[in-house]
Each structure stands twice: as structure tokens, then as C-alpha cells.
């Protein structure tokens, strides 16, 4: 990552590409046992969180990601009550999940408590629901947590992780995905951050392969804009245990009892339409 007097960049060497933001100053920096965490104040995007030189989120645009990591899965499940978030330490996805009045419990397991402590200081708006009586924040390896979780005990698993390197690598692997399948109740849904199809198509295909191997009955990758990620867009991939994923509670989504800034029923319907290059790539897993 390059940092000159006033710009910070995330580079994707394999694609000869970079994304840069103009920054005013560095607000925080800590080397945790798992990763390097930096927070910057930017000129136009609010605060920026960076983990091991990868842009995670900014104050300005994180709503796109957190809403799409939560609402498509929650409005697809007939009655989601028990939710688990693996990763998600900035707490933005947790906030979105807790907007659903029918959700009875959300357990969030992030390996690195430093991320949540930094979010509390520099992204307090993402942490506004952390005190909700339905929420439990745990700090552990999500891979171990899922391995030890009881069969059929969860309705929705959201894997809101870093890239498949370092502590996040195993979250994209077949053993973890198979554990997610076992832990989900019938009609359960797994949704994971599944990278950019422009930069990481093989990662996306391997993710689908692991879901097929685990026994999931339907899979859908939803593409949506993510300005601060290299490539400018990203996917979340849903996998279901018995439910068709092209059907969702469209009326409920249309009448959602809470505000969003990106997600709505039309966006959900549109995101289910997979572009040809993704369909082609996934047709030959």
C-alpha cells in the first residue's frame, strides 16, 4: 500500500490496478495478533478502516455492503430468528440484522477484538445497536466456533470476513462451509462476502464448489457496487438448505419497517439477475 503525503492506495498487483483516497491524517494504528489495523481521516469519505493494507470500509459508503450482507438473506428466509455473524467486527452488518424485529438472537464472532474497539471509536454509528439485548459479541476464531456449534441450531449464517488470506483464508474453505451446512437448520441460509468477480473469479468459483460439496441446494451470487474495493463492485453469495433463492418475501421487503439507503425489494430482485460472465463462469464449476 502506498501512502504519500496525502494519498493512500490499495493496490491489486495481479491486476495492475489500484484504488486511492486522499487522506488528511492517520487516526489510529495497531498491530493485533491477527492483522495490522489502521484508521485514517479522509478528505471526502469520512473515516477509512484498513486491515493488512486492504481497504475495509469508509463512513461514506459502508451502507452498500452492510445492507447487502444482511437483508437479501433475511428477507429470503421465511422466519429468521437465530443469526450468526462470522467476522463483521466493525458491527455494521450486526446493526442491519438487528433492524429485523423477528430476529431473536444474533451472535457475532470476530477473531480480533481490536476491530470492534476501533469501530466503537471511529465508526460509532455502526456500533449503535451493540447494546441490543438480542446481540452477543464474542471474540474467537469463527472456524473453531462453527466446528463446535450444534447441528441445526442457526437460521442464517453471515460470513462478513476479510479476504481469503491470513485468518480469513479458512472461511472460504470446504471444511468450514460443510460445518456451516451442518449447523444450519432446514431452510437455513449461508451468505458470505465472496469478492469481486473481476479480480477473484477463481475464489468465487471455489466458494460455489465448496457449497455444492457441502450439500447446499441452491446458490446465488449477488453483485453490487462497492466503490472503495478494487474493481468497484463485490459479490455476496447465498447458499440455501432447501429453499429456492430466486423467491423471497418480496411484500415484506417492500414494506420493510426500517430505513435503508441501498437495499429494497427491487434492488434484491435485480441483484438476483446474474450477469452473463458470472453465469458462464459458474456454469462450469
Give whichever of 187 and 203 is closer to ligand SAM, judged by the CB atom: 203
Which residue(s) pair with 239 in the sheet?
190, 219
Give whichever of 34 and 243 is closer to ligand SAM, judged by the CB atom: 34
Among residues 72, 80, 88, 197, the one that binds ligand SAM under rule CB under 6 A: 88
Among the listed residues 160, 218, 246, 252, the single catalytic one is 160
Residue 192 interacts with ligand SAM (CB under 6 A): yes or no: no
Taking Cα atoms as reference points, which of 235, 162, 188, 170 lies closest to residue 84? 188
Residue 142 interacts with ligand SAM (CB under 6 A): yes or no: yes
Phi/psi region, residue 117 (left: phi>0; alpha: psi -120 to 50; beta: rest), is alpha
Give whichever of 72 and 87 is closer to ligand SAM, judged by the CB atom: 87
CA distance 187 to 258: 24
Task: Specify the stretch interacting with ligand SAM by CB under 6 A; choose among 14-22, 23-31, 107-115, 252-260.
Answer: 107-115
Name the helix (H) or strand (E) containing 69: helix 62-76
Give whichever of 115 and 156 is closer to ligand SAM, judged by the CB atom: 115
Give whichever of 57 and 281 is closer to ligand SAM, judged by the CB atom: 57
Residue 162 interacts with ligand SAM (CB under 6 A): yes or no: yes
Cα end-to-end span (Å), the chain = 33
User: With the C-alpha atoms ordered 230, 235, 236, 240, is the resulting torsion angle positive or negative?
Assistant: negative
Residue 193 interacts with ligand SAM (CB under 6 A): yes or no: yes
Task: Specify the stretch interacting with ligand SAM by CB under 6 A; choose among 81-89, 130-138, 194-202, 274-282.
Answer: 81-89
Residue 164 interacts with ligand SAM (CB under 6 A): yes or no: no
CA distance 94 to 108: 7
Q: Is 280 a catalytic residue?
A: no
Torsion of CA 110, 68, 147, 32, to 10 degrees: -20
Taking Cα atoms as reference points, which of 189, 198, 250, 249 lies closest to residue 220? 189
Residue 21 interacts with ligand SAM (CB under 6 A): yes or no: no
Residue 230 interacts with ligand SAM (CB under 6 A): yes or no: no
Among residues 80, 168, 188, 192, the one that binds ligand SAM under rule CB under 6 A: 168
- Write out the binding residues for ligand SAM, residues 45-74 only, by CB under 6 A: 56-57, 62, 65
Beta sheet of 36-42, edge-to-edge order: 7-12, 17-31, 36-42, 47-51, 54-58
Name the helix (H) or strand (E) containing 23: strand 17-31
Residue 161 interacts with ligand SAM (CB under 6 A): yes or no: yes
* Total residues in contact with ligand SAM, by rule CB under 6 A: 25
Residue 167 interacts with ligand SAM (CB under 6 A): yes or no: yes
By annotation, the residues acting in catalysis are 160
Amino acid at each position: 500500500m502506498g501512502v504519500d503525503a496525502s494519498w493512500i492506495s490499495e493496490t491489486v498487483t495481479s491486476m495492475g490496478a489500484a484504488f486511492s483516497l486522499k487522506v488528511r491524517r492517520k487516526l489510529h494504528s495497531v498491530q493485533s495478533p491477527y492483522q495490522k489495523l489502521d484508521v485514517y481521516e479522509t478528505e471526502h469519505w469520512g473515516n477509512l478502516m484498513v486491515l493488512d493494507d486492504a481497504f475495509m470500509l469508509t463512513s461514506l459508503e459502508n451502507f452498500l455492503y452492510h445492507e447487502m450482507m444482511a437483508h437479501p438473506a433475511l428477507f429470503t428466509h421465511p422466519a429468521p430468528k437465530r443469526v450468526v455473524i462470522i467476522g463483521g467486527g466493525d458491527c455494521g452488518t450486526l446493526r442491519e440484522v438487528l433492524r429485523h424485529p423477528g430476529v431473536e438472537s444474533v451472535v457475532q464472532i470476530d477473531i480480533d477484538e481490536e476491530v470492534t474497539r476501533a469501530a466503537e471509536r471511529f465508526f460509532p454509528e455502526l456500533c449503535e445497536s451493540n447494546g441490543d439485548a438480542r446481540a452477543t459479541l464474542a471474540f474467537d476464531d469463527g472456524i473453531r466456533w462453527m466446528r463446535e456449534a450444534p447441528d441445526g441450531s442457526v437460521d442464517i449464517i453471515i460470513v462478513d470476513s476479510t479476504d481469503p488470506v491470513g485468518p480469513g483464508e479458512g472461511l472460504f474453505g470446504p471444511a468450514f462451509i460443510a460445518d456451516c451446512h451442518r449447523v444450519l437448520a432446514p431452510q437455513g441460509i449461508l451468505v458470505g462476502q465472496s469478492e469481486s468477480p473481476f479480480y477473484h473469479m477463481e475464489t468465487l468459483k471455489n466458494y460455489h464448489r465448496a457449497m455444492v460439496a457441502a450439500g447446499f441446494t441452491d446458490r446465488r451470487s449477488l453483485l453490487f457496487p462497492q466503490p472503495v474495493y478494487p474493481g468497484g463492485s463485490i459479490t455476496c453469495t447465498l447458499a440455501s438448505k432447501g429453499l429456492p433463492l430466486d423467491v423471497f418475501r418480496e411484500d415484506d421487503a417492500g414494506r420493510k419497517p426500517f430505513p435503508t439507503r441501498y437495499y429494497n425489494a427491487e434492488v434484491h430482485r435485480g441483484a438476483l439477475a446474474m450477469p452473463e460472465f458470472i453465469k458462464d463462469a459458474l456454469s462450469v464449476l
